[in-house]
Structure 1
Amino acid sequence: MSHSLVFVLGSAPHGSSRAREGLDAVLAASAVCEDIVVFFEGDGVWQLLKDQSPTEIMQRNVLPTYGLLDLYEVEELFVDRQALRDRQLSIDHLAIKITEIDAKQFYLKHANAHAIVRF
């Protein structure tokens, strides 16, 4: 049985605090758990888009914080291939190094995770 802690980030980066809270939870959990997995699906893929200008809509720019994931040793990062396609995006549009995967494959692989937390 896998003891990974899986975070599914599916919220758009602005308009609510869910995306920021999800990222904060991932970073906090990494202090007590060695096996953190992050999956971006749905509108969550917008969180990773390069060249965002959130200050123009009076939002905090959290994109640089994603660079801390590597420092916190959160290395298993995945993005839903279909979510990218649905939004006419590709991996090249994203600001961090991440692995594309089909959602079904992802959930099958992590079906025995210790917990799955959604934001």
Structure 2
Amino acid sequence: MKKLTIVFRRAPHGTPHGREALDLALLSASFEQDVSLLFVDEGVLHLMPEQQPETAGAKDYIATFGALELYDIETVLACQSSLARFGLANSELTISVERVTSNNITEQLQAADEVLVF
């Protein structure tokens, strides 16, 4: 089984990257790939609660993150320093994540067979 790590680096709703990354994660997991998600930099903004993308003319795909468990995507990591930078360090996030340091991120990326950055 191939280990795939998908990295969310860009903010949600400004580009299709976030939706495409999520679609790829769910599709890959449905083909029994070992999929891990990693949220870094502006990508942690996908984890903010109570987003209203419709007001900016974007589709709301953030709720789809709730389906990760159904696809057996269990490794969901978020960069501690990125969360802190956006004031998300102590707030409630939309999904359960493991808060990790840069060392943990390096280990995750080295353990993956493929890394895709969105």
TM-score by length of 2: 0.92
> Hey, what does 1:63 align to over in structure 2?
62
- CA offsets, 1:14-37, max 9 Å, x none? 111011111111011101234111
Given that 2:6 and 2:38 are in contact with CA atoms closer than 8 Å, whether structure 1 keeps it comes out as yes
CA drift at 1:89: 1.4
- CA offsets, 1:64-85, max 9 Å, x none? 1000111111010000001011
The 10-residue stretch of structure 1 (72-81 or 31-40) with the greater mean CA deviation from structure 2? 31-40
> Hey, what does 1:83 align to over in structure 2?
82
> Hey, what does 1:100 align to over in structure 2?
99
CA RMSD of aligned residues (A): 1.5
2: CA distance between counterparts of 1:3 and 1:29? 10
> Hey, what does 2:20 align to over in structure 1?
21
Counterpart secondary structure, 1:93: coil
How many correspondences in the alignment? 118
- CA offsets, 1:67-118, max 9 Å, x none? 0111111010000001011112125331101110012222224403111111
1: CA distance between counterparts of 2:14 and 2:62? 15
Give structure 1 regions of 4+ aligned residues with deviation exceeding 4 angstroms: none
Given that 1:6 and 1:113 are in contact with CA atoms closer than 8 Å, whether structure 2 keeps it comes out as yes
TM-score by length of 1: 0.91
> Hey, what does 1:4 align to over in structure 2?
3
2: CA distance between counterparts of 1:103 and 1:15? 26
Show structure 1 runs of 5+ residues with no match: none
User: Sequence identity, in percent?
Assistant: 25
Show structure 2 runs of 5+ residues with no match: none
- CA offsets, 1:40-65, max 9 Å, x none? 00100001110001111111111110
